[in-house]
Structure 1
């Protein structure tokens, strides 16, 4: 099986960067209105555009969703095989479907938002798109401190978000027989942020719900048990 780095290097296709005049999506407008208000122009001016290249792009993905229907959790549950990219948070392993990941870049310090909850570290202007950076550790309620060294960039339902992680772990081709979707009874707090569980040998890997992660960001970082 290829490592994430091998896969990404062979399949790099970063997003179009010649979109400076494009209109904001409704999700981007909703995010900016919620967190910036009258501070909008000032904060956006502070967030200088980033176009990572070379060593700053750890990996890029030719997203399979670019020419197909957009990802949804409901469609994922119906699949018999899923490719996952996993990463570590405080020694625990989490994963996302490869179809929702755009690229992985080295961590950059975000521009802070005056009214954002602690789980939203701020924003960066990544390739012309306002990109909230989310601390998965805080959002998932994982205790402890860790160095966030990378950002997993996902674009979903009109909003590009960056998930702050410590390291990319590996890739899996998950068979449906090893996937469990009804996980609420097994994981408890913040179960709505998890799409399911994948059993890889002796390891149990939590698959995150990109649908609900984006919803939480737009709602103000609120989670519920």
Structure 2
């Protein structure tokens, strides 16, 4: 019934802004998008971890992606959002400047990231998508946290969720 072949596969992306750059993450890893709420600070957390939030009874660590990637910080606005994403076994909130759209992108429009596409390390990138005249930087969510950082966040959630030390 379908006339498309395997080369015209599409991915669906949630597109957001950090500064003037546009980024995309697979919608399959996005749980929800929320307005910014003030996270509760966690002692001894990495500098890019803003704290934790209680999302319908579940404790979720919140990461500021601009801090994580070493980008210029700016004040939060009415458009600032927390995107709740799944990274492996972890559910994490990431603070972004604005969520702009959800779009479908043909995998034929994807290219591997060039070494110096942005101020973000290529380690965090999956590729670059071409959307008309726009370039969309695709993040590899599984790599934005190291294994050690994932363990630290899991421990923080455990400590916040109960009084036992992790």
TM-score bracket, normalised by the shorter chain, equals: 0.7 to 0.9
- Structure with a larger share of its residues in helix: 1
Please list, as runs of the form range in 1=range in 2, the aligned pairs for 1:141-156 lying within 5 A after superposition: 141-147=70-76, 149-156=80-87
2-structure distance, mates of 1:184, 1:220: 31
What does residue range 6-25 of structure 1 map to in structure 2 within 5 Å?
none
For residues 68-83 of structure 1, the aligned pairs below 5 Å read 80-83=9-12
TM-score in terms of structure 1 length: 0.58
Partner of 1:218 in structure 2?
A: 150
Ranges in structure 2 where 5+ consecutive residues have no aligned partner: 1-6, 154-166
Contact 2:15/2:25 (CA < 8 Å) preserved in 1? yes
Could you tell me which residue of structure 1 aligns to residue 56 of structure 2?
127
Q: CA deviation at 1:174?
A: 0.7
Match of 1:185 in 2: 115
Structure 1: give runs of 5+ residues left out of the alignment.
1-77
Given that residues 8 and 106 in structure 2 are in contact (C-alpha distance below 8 angstroms), is that contact kept between their aligned partners in structure 1? no
Contact 2:10–2:106, Cα closer than 8 Å, also in 1: yes
1:166 aligns with 2:92: no
1:140 corresponds to 2:69:
yes
Matched residue of 2:144: which SS?
helix
In the superposition, relative to structure 1, how do residues 219 and 143 fare at CA in structure 2: closer, same or farther (>3 Å)? farther
Spell out, residue by residue over 1:9-30, the C-alpha distance to the aligned partner (whole angstroms, 9 max, x if none). xxxxxxxxxxxxxxxxxxxxxx
RMSD between superposed Cα atoms in Å:
2.3
SS where residue 185 of structure 1 aligns? coil
Q: How far apart, in 1, do the equivalents of 2:13 and 2:29 lie?
A: 10
Task: Output one character per residue of 1:143-168: Cα deviation in whole Å (capped at 9) or x when no partner.
Answer: 24131621000123221100101211
Relative to structure 1, is the Cα distance of residues 86 and 125 closer, same or farther in structure 2, using a 3 angstrom cutoff? same
TM-score, normalised to structure 2's length? Answer: 0.77
Question: Equivalents in 1 of 2:120, 2:97: separation in Å?
Answer: 22
Structure 2 equivalent of residue 91 of structure 1: 20
The Cα of 1:220 is off from its aligned counterpart by 6.0
CA contact (8 A) 2:8 2:108 kept: no
